[in-house]
Chain A
């Protein structure tokens, strides 16, 4: 699979240096990235709890006598809906993990002057952007397919 980032040419002259100003920016970035990763993990956990209790909630609604065609349709699709939401949550947790590893490795690199951790940190950052990008592209394609599907249905019902 080709990515946006395949045509990089390695530069032989190396004049880029992590100055104190740059290291300070990396450090602050890592602190915020750590905070955001923790918030993402918490939201994924809440989402997981909500998704796993979806079936029970539907049953309770049905027991309460809330009969409606919409609810029946939703109940018949509960398993499919749960699988889709779980897949999205798994993807979000992977993104949160990339974010967390980026932050952790960056802090290790700066604190212990660890070159390997620095390289790992930027690898995780690249992975975060790459997989977020792939997710966004998939969403755009999905919207496009849905639009075409809706437009075709509307035209079919008219003609």
Chain B
């Protein structure tokens, strides 16, 4: 079993930059290209969603005034949660396409850095949600035990 106290990438060999046995074959390039196209599609959907949230936010805040504050706060919270993954996937798509088009290794590095950030963000969010579910379950059981 893995040592959970180590950083996620602790067991990666700190080898020299080059040469390394792995290479970026034409097959991998094709998969990257296809993945980046789909990633771009998701990014566009995400931006459209954020635009919609912004539209509702501005309408609610102008029409409801102080009474619409809870709605505005919820929308801001949703926007703050949705924007980072959308931005990361957009950056991933853009940089991978740039890397493939111009043989730009730096762009590829930025692209994969954004993919890593995307996974980290979703992973941490999932862990927080799981923790929240766990705490809710514990409190529910405690409540039921004391009430019963």
The answer to whether A and B belong to the same complex is yes
Are A28 and B120 touching (Cβ within 8 A)?
Answer: yes
Contacts of A27 in B (CB 8 A): 8-9, 12
Across the interface, A16 reaches (CB within 8 A) one of B8, B105, B113, namely B105
Contact with B along A21-40 (1 / 0, CB 8 A): 11111111101110110010
Shortest C-beta distance, B122 to chain A (Å), equals 7
Do the beta carbons of B20 and A113 come within 8 Å of each other? yes
* A residues 1-23 touching B (CB-CB < 8 Å): 3-5, 8, 10-11, 13-23
* Dominant secondary structure at the A interface: helix
Known: A22-B108, A23-B12, A110-B12. A133 touches B38 (CB 8 A): yes
Chain B binding surface SS class:
helix
Asked whether B31 lies within 8 Å of A122 as measured between CB atoms, the reply is yes
Contact between chains at A5 and B33 (CB < 8 Å): yes
Question: Cβ of B35: which chain A residues have Cβ within 8 Å of it?
Answer: 5, 122, 125-126, 129
Chain A residue nearest in CB terms to B45: A136
Q: Most A CB atoms within 10 A — which of B26, B109, B123?
A: B123
**Do the beta carbons of B109 and A36 come within 8 Å of each other?**
no
Are A129's CB and B105's CB within 8 A?
A: no
How far apart are A142's CB and chain B's nearest CB, in angstroms?
15
Query: Which of A8, A123, A125, A133 interacts with B41 by CB under 8 Å?
Result: A133
Is there a chain B Cβ closer than 8 Å to A104's Cβ? Answer: no
Of the listed residues A3, A5, A113, A130, the one surrounded by the most CB atoms of chain B closer than 10 A to its CB is A5
Query: In the complex, what residues of B have CB within 8 A of residue A109's CB?
Result: 22
Whether A60 sits at the interface, judged by CB under 8 Å, is no
- Asked whether, in the complex, the Cβ of A4 is within 8 Å of the Cβ of B41, the reply is yes
CB-CB < 8 A to A123: which residues of B? 27, 31
**Cβ < 8 Å to A, chain B residues 84-134:** 99-100, 103, 105, 108-109, 112-113, 115-116, 119-120, 122-123, 126-127, 130
A129 engages B39 (CB within 8 Å): yes
Name B's A-contacting residues (CB within 8 A). Answer: 8-9, 12, 14-18, 20-35, 37-39, 41-42, 45, 99-100, 103, 105, 108-109, 112-113, 115-116, 119-120, 122-123, 126-127, 130
A selection of 29 A-B contacts at a CB cut-off of 8 Å is A5-B34, A8-B29, A10-B26, A10-B29, A11-B29, A14-B23, A14-B24, A16-B100, A17-B23, A18-B23, A18-B24, A19-B105, A19-B109, A25-B113, A26-B116, A27-B12, A113-B20, A115-B22, A115-B23, A118-B28, A119-B27, A119-B31, A123-B27, A125-B35, A126-B34, A126-B35, A129-B39, A130-B38, A133-B42
Name the 5 nearest CB pairs between A and B, nearest first: A5-B34, A113-B21, A129-B38, A32-B119, A122-B31
Known contacts A23-B20, A113-B21; 8 additional CB pairs below 8 A are A8-B33, A10-B26, A16-B100, A17-B24, A21-B109, A29-B119, A126-B34, A129-B42
